[in-house]
Chain A
Amino acid sequence: MWLTSKIKQVLLVLKPGVVTLKYPFEPRPVPKNFRGAPHWDHHKCVGCGACSDHCSARTILVRDLCQELRVMLYDASRCTYCGKCADICPEKAITMTERFELATDNREDLTERLELFMLTCKRCGRCYDMENTNLIERLDMKGYRYDNLEQRAFIRKTTEQFDEKMLKKSDEYKRPTKVEA
């Protein structure tokens, strides 16, 4: 009984042979639907903030610096990669990439920041994204979207309302800290 078991065990081990992968020396491809690090396509994003509303880990921050400038900040350090943002995005601007080797010693590497230029609807007064929706109004503007914030001269109308404090606040955004008793 003991011996037959041992023979069976030897066969059990010999038959499959070595199955260990050579990873990380050989990359291991991930399946089609893999939920890796999310990526925002700023050409497609309209700044609706649905991803931020649905983020289960609350790791996407949306902040309006002024009427025309909306900053979206994604902080991956506590992202759970559930992919709900990608599911919910009406413009399919968020994709779950195949990247999974994300270890880093700098948290900034894990942060994605979008600065979206918005326009105000003349009827309702709420802002909307202009890049995708309004080609005519785009014509009288140069260098939107890719500008950095120092060149905010390009923003029409509300330069005087621009909130430097808010910008600083969003630049220095940190996770909420604990309450001491």
Chain B
Amino acid sequence: MPTLESIKNRLNEKYKKDIAGSETLYGDTQLFLDIRKDVVRPICNDIISEGGRYLVSVGHDDGDRSGTLGLIHTFSFDADHFKVMVKTAAPADNPVFDSITPDIPNAGWSEREYIDLLGMKFTGHPKPKRLILADDWPEGIHPLRKEVPYNLVPPAAEDVAYQLDECPPGCSVVPVGPFHPSLHEPAHFAVFVDGETIKGCDYRGFMTHRGIEKLCTTQVSYNEVPFIAERICGICGSVHATAYSQVVELAAGIKIPRRADFIRTIMLEIERIHSHLLWLGVAGHLIGFDTVFMQAWRVREQVMWLAEKITGNRKTYGMIVIGGVRRDLTPELCDDLLKVVANIEKETMTIHRAIAGDTAVHKRTKGVGALTREQVVNWSLVGPVARARNVDIDARRDHPYAAYDEMKFDVPVVDTMDVWGTVLVRILEIYEAVKIIRQAVEKMPGGPVLYEFHDPIPPMKHAITQVEAPRGEAVHYVITGEENRAERWRVRAPTYPNLQGVPAMLMNNQFADFPIIVGSIDPCFSCTDRVEVVDMRSGKASVIGSGELEKMSRKR
């Protein structure tokens, strides 16, 4: 079992002259290593073989200080409750790094992101294509570089298009998107099919990329960001607000009142209940089982009203700020809360019993989107997607935050390896969430809910935090800066790693299962959908409307 000390000593021994310095921060939970860039790949490989799980890479422009571009790879040791950050840098005029993607496939997007946004180059990257920037964005302008203004709008260009991956021989391409019900946001999947069987897929997304990170590091101040963070995701708003507040509090050394920790926990669990019920309904809808859809959303509505009562809004609660929470829970609200969650527990059980034995549901979900445990670990998937495939990770237990260290709860893990497992994990987590809310209300201490601090936040502090969102784990990394705003703020939403695992999940499944497989990682759903089928051999294009694909999906 590795400990933070043992990892540090072993790496220091092996790469004596390549490690410039190491720092252990935040109560021995985060190890920061400064390394020379030549050894990035072997060190990352060593960390992975010690049992580390890749989280995200953070690139930042440090040009005005040291003339370099910084790159930080982050790893989490879940069973041992610590994180390792590998910091390296390259001169800004020639930012070439070794790619770690050949060994850690999940790093692919992070690295492509910095090719786009910072102009870094990665030698050995298997697919150095454009990821984030629009197809007509001019070459050579890298928006996260400090000299690029936040509101730059280059002129649009015509006749530019993303070059899809080569289609495997004998297959046809079915483009899904950019608007489609089973997609989280406008995104484009090109699915390669042989008959009805999916043989591969290419993804082009980030069409709603708005540059929030740039905005928050150049325009707004620390206090305004929780409200922007909350709007990163419509479903897990509190998660991002909590994660952001938490990571800034960590970096600045602010200790928030204990009561605020408990209220944050309650808000996060309320959000989990509503998200799981929402997803259950959507999953039912995607497989043509609208009874579940209607009933799950009926049950969910009580949580929305409860949240409205507590915070003043159904969603985007606006509760969580740096230093605590904005509104207190009165005893009457606590009573309401307990009544509602008891009701939800009862009604969820009814739904659970009604679908647990339904062979129609089994037929549509069992064995669909199958992945082995090794694949999940290799792709660093998170959340219910991983827990349905026998990977026991949960940031609430492994890296306790808010008041989770005092809560007793189980982490449901099943080994069906498919979408059915995801359904089970999500339902079981509703019961756990109810359990946590009850404990939190019972144990909640008195006192203030907001800590007011007046000292400026010290610059150039690095910190990372994980928060378990309903659909997986959100990671926030912050480098504090001057002028009361962060120097760099990196958000990794749970869909970011999970979407990269989708091609593996789709492989050799039926095309009609596409919606439920993509839906099983829980991206959001837009209602305008249109699927274009291009027959590669004849070059003819035909358009399938929403009704037809849905019918196709439901008929099965």
Q: How far is the CA of A81 from the CA of B312 in the complex (A)?
A: 10
Asked if residues A5 and B227 are in contact (CB atoms below 8 Å), the reply is no
Within 8 Å by CB of B350, from A5, A12, A176, A180, lies A12
Which candidate, B352-360, B391-399, B518-526, is the interface stretch facing chain A? B352-360
Q: How far is the CA of A12 from the CA of B353 in the complex (A)?
A: 10
Asked if residues B151 and A178 are in contact (CB atoms below 8 Å), the reply is yes
Inside 8 A of B357's CB, which chain A residues have their CB? 1-2, 4-5
Within 8 Å by CB of B298, from A19, A35, A82, lies A19
What is the chain A residue whose CB lies nearest that of B305?
A31
B 299-340 to A, binary, CB cutoff 8 A, 1 in contact else 0: 001000100111111001010000000110000000000000
For chain A residues 128-154, which have a beta carbon within 8 Å of chain B?
none
Asked if residues B327 and A33 are in contact (CB atoms below 8 Å), the reply is yes
Q: How far is the CA of A35 from the CA of B231 in the complex (A)?
A: 17
For chain B residues 275-302, which have a beta carbon within 8 Å of chain A?
291, 294-295, 298, 301
The yes or no answer to A166 lying at the interface (CB within 8 A) is: no
Q: How far is the CA of A86 from the CA of B305 in the complex (A)?
A: 22
The yes or no answer to A16 lying at the interface (CB within 8 A) is: yes
What is the chain B residue whose CB lies nearest that of A28?
B305
For chain B residues 144-168, which have a beta carbon within 8 Å of chain A?
149, 151-155
A: contact size bracket: 20 to 34
A 49-73 to B, binary, CB cutoff 8 A, 1 in contact else 0: 0000010111000000000000000
The interface on chain B, measured as residues whose beta carbon lies within 8 A of the other chain's beta carbons, has a size of: 40
CB distance from B377 to the nearest CB of A (A): 34
Q: How far is the CA of A23 from the CA of B312 in the complex (A)?
A: 19
For chain A residues 1-30, which have a beta carbon within 8 Å of chain B?
1-2, 4-6, 8-9, 11-13, 16, 19, 30
CB distance from A136 to the nearest CB of B (A): 36
The yes or no answer to B220 lying at the interface (CB within 8 A) is: yes
Asked if residues A96 and B312 are in contact (CB atoms below 8 Å), the reply is yes
Q: A9-B354, A35-B318, A56-B220 are in contact. Are A83 and B312 (CB under 8 A)?
A: yes
The yes or no answer to A170 lying at the interface (CB within 8 A) is: no
Inside 8 A of A179's CB, which chain B residues have their CB? 149, 151-153
Asked if residues A5 and B154 are in contact (CB atoms below 8 Å), the reply is no
Asked if residues A180 and B318 are in contact (CB atoms below 8 Å), the reply is no
Asked if residues A181 and B359 are in contact (CB atoms below 8 Å), the reply is no
CB distance from A135 to the nearest CB of B (A): 34
Inside 8 A of B104's CB, which chain A residues have their CB? none
Q: A35-B313, A83-B318 are in contact. Are A8 and B153 (CB under 8 A)?
A: no
Inside 8 A of A109's CB, which chain B residues have their CB? none
Asked if residues A13 and B151 are in contact (CB atoms below 8 Å), the reply is no
Asked if residues B312 and A12 are in contact (CB atoms below 8 Å), the reply is no
Inside 8 A of A6's CB, which chain B residues have their CB? 358
The yes or no answer to B535 lying at the interface (CB within 8 A) is: no
Inside 8 A of B224's CB, which chain A residues have their CB? 56
Within 8 Å by CB of B152, from A5, A35, A181, lies A181
B 344-355 to A, binary, CB cutoff 8 A, 1 in contact else 0: 000000110111
Within 8 Å by CB of B308, from A9, A13, A16, A30, lies A30
Q: How far is the CA of A115 from the CA of B438 in the complex (A)?
A: 50
Asked if residues A181 and B327 are in contact (CB atoms below 8 Å), the reply is no
Q: How far is the CA of A11 from the CA of B223 in the complex (A)?
A: 50
Q: How far is the CA of A150 from the CA of B399 in the complex (A)?
A: 63
CB distance from A27 to the nearest CB of B (A): 15
CB distance from B441 to the nearest CB of A (A): 18
Within 8 Å by CB of B354, from A8, A54, A84, lies A8
What is the chain B residue whose CB lies nearest that of A96?
B312
Q: How far is the CA of A26 from the CA of B326 in the complex (A)?
A: 32
Asked if residues A31 and B227 are in contact (CB atoms below 8 Å), the reply is no
The yes or no answer to A171 lying at the interface (CB within 8 A) is: no
Asked if residues A5 and B354 are in contact (CB atoms below 8 Å), the reply is yes
Inside 8 A of A31's CB, which chain B residues have their CB? 305, 308-309, 312
The yes or no answer to A163 lying at the interface (CB within 8 A) is: no
The yes or no answer to A91 lying at the interface (CB within 8 A) is: no
Inside 8 A of B351's CB, which chain A residues have their CB? 12
Within 8 Å by CB of A33, from B155, B227, B311, lies B311
The yes or no answer to A87 lying at the interface (CB within 8 A) is: yes
The yes or no answer to B228 lying at the interface (CB within 8 A) is: yes
Inside 8 A of B153's CB, which chain A residues have their CB? 178-181
The yes or no answer to A34 lying at the interface (CB within 8 A) is: yes
Asked if residues B312 and A33 are in contact (CB atoms below 8 Å), the reply is yes
The yes or no answer to A80 lying at the interface (CB within 8 A) is: yes
What is the chain A residue whose CB lies nearest that of B227?
A56
Within 8 Å by CB of A82, from B155, B318, B358, lies B318
Inside 8 A of B294's CB, which chain A residues have their CB? 13
Q: How far is the CA of A25 from the CA of B100 in the complex (A)?
A: 59
Inside 8 A of B359's CB, which chain A residues have their CB? 1-2, 5
CB distance from B285 to the nearest CB of A (A): 15
Q: How far is the CA of A11 from the CA of B295 in the complex (A)?
A: 11
CB distance from B479 to the nearest CB of A (A): 22
What is the chain B residue whose CB lies nearest that of A33?
B312
Inside 8 A of B316's CB, which chain A residues have their CB? 80
Inside 8 A of B227's CB, which chain A residues have their CB? 56-57, 80, 82, 84
List the 4 closest pairs (A to B, CB-CB), nearest first. A35-B312, A181-B154, A5-B358, A8-B354
| 5 contacting pairs across A/B (C-beta < 8 A) | A2-B358, A33-B327, A56-B220, A81-B318, A181-B154
5 further contact pairs, Cβ within 8 A, besides A9-B354, A31-B308, A58-B220:
A2-B358, A19-B301, A31-B309, A178-B151, A181-B153
